[in-house]
Chain A
Amino acid sequence: MQEDDLPENIIKDVLSPDEVKAALNALTRVDIARLNKAAEFFCAVNGFDQPNDLLQEALTRALAGQRKCRRGLAFVPFLYGSISSIANAAAKASRRSRIDPFAEPEDGEEQEDLRADAVELVDPERIAAARDALQKLNALFKDDEEILIVIEAMASGLKGEELRQSLGLSKTDHDTIRKRMHRQSEPFAMPWREK
């Protein structure tokens, strides 16, 4: 679907800068902890060593209106999407050039994300970056076979209860493996925590 096909009110029904500020002020400690974990994860996947840079860029784009949050969309998942998009673009850019992986998008570029679900463009750089990311994750968890099996299942599209059933895991088993995953990702965030 082309953007022109979308009703104008869908594109325009987004949070204003003041509403974004209010949403940021309303974030709880739990939300912030989740956002930090997401930033740590994307650092591990994309080879960043500064999760706070990733988070700050996502916050900046939201506040500047470069990435727009559709009204009604939960704000934390919106920020996950932004972090993911920035990390993905930077991973691709770092394969092309070391000049500026955080290069500011051209006007309107982030608008494309409003219809990201509708359009899937896979370019060679994205494929190469994805291969890199999967290799990094395999290397990161190479000493923990259980995590690797869970990751493989997730990569095949399984999650939640379906994943547990497929691997014969109880919720407790899954939680234990997940905690180890998070713990082993944490070293990637150390430069930030030490600030």
Chain B
Amino acid sequence: MSTQKRSAVEQLDALIDGYLDDLQEISESELLADQRQIEMQRVTFDKLVKNASLEAGKRRLAHARRALVAKSSEMKPLEPIDLPEARRFIAEAANDARITLAARDLAEMPDEDVERIYRQLKELESARAPRKE
């Protein structure tokens, strides 16, 4: 036996672990000794499963609704951007020592990459804005 003093949480966890192991060791004959009780348990358990199924349905529906609301707020249309202005902005940013941009020819960069990088830089800029004060 360990002589090290265990915390209350460790003691309780060990106790629960041991109890649940014991539970699996109980023989079927011991568990099924009281037939009347066993039948009652079956009936009660079936009711619990039925109630749980109804409640689970409600929770899944509520979860789906929350997910839908979250998705619709994510899908708000983004403000259109001016691509030439975005390329100019990115070119300036590439000269900023605080920002690391992969060396690429901006002229060859696909519009969607320009748009994505521009939005990221704008987000960075707005995140930094308060510090400029």
B80 to chain A, nearest CB (A): 33
**Known A-B contacts A52-B48, A56-B48, A178-B22; A130 and B55 likewise in contact (beta carbons under 8 Å):** no
Q: Give the interface SS of chain A, mostly helix, strand, loop or mixed.
A: helix
Q: Which residues of A contact B20 (CB under 8 A)?
A: 38, 77, 80, 84
B23 touches A37 (CB 8 A): yes
Interface size class of B (residues with CB under 8 A): 35 or more
A46 to chain B, nearest CB (A): 10
A76 to B45, CA, bound (A): 14
Query: Is B69 an interface residue, CB under 8 A from the partner?
Result: no
Query: Is A156 an interface residue, CB under 8 A from the partner?
Result: yes
A35 to B15, CA, bound (A): 17
B52 touches A56 (CB 8 A): yes
A33 touches B38 (CB 8 A): yes
Query: Is A65 an interface residue, CB under 8 A from the partner?
Result: yes
A80 to B55, CA, bound (A): 20
Closest to A77 in B: B20
A33 touches B41 (CB 8 A): yes
**Known A-B contacts A64-B55, A158-B1, A166-B1; A127 and B7 likewise in contact (beta carbons under 8 Å):** yes
* Cβ-neighbour of B22 out of A107, A126, A159 (below 8 A): A159
Q: Give the interface SS of chain B, mostly helix, strand, loop or mixed.
A: helix
Q: Which residues of B contact A37 (CB under 8 A)?
A: 23, 26
The number of residues on chain A lying at the interface, defined by a beta carbon within 8 Å of a beta carbon of chain B, is: 56
**Known A-B contacts A29-B41, A151-B15, A193-B40; A38 and B23 likewise in contact (beta carbons under 8 Å):** yes
A130 touches B41 (CB 8 A): no
A84 touches B59 (CB 8 A): no
B33 to chain A, nearest CB (A): 10
Binary interface profile of B, 27-58, with partner A (CB < 8 Å = 1, else 0)? 01011100001101110110011011101110
Known: A60-B59, A64-B59, A179-B30. 13 other contacts (CB 8 A): A17-B56, A17-B60, A36-B41, A55-B48, A59-B48, A60-B55, A76-B24, A80-B20, A104-B59, A130-B8, A156-B2, A159-B18, A163-B18
Binding site for B on A (CB under 8 A): 17, 21, 24, 27, 29-30, 32-38, 41, 45, 52, 55-56, 59-66, 76-77, 80, 84, 104, 107, 122, 126-127, 130-131, 133-134, 137, 151, 153-160, 163, 166, 178-179, 192-193, 195
Q: List 7 A-B contacts (CB under 8 A).
A: A32-B38, A35-B45, A38-B23, A60-B56, A133-B12, A154-B18, A156-B11
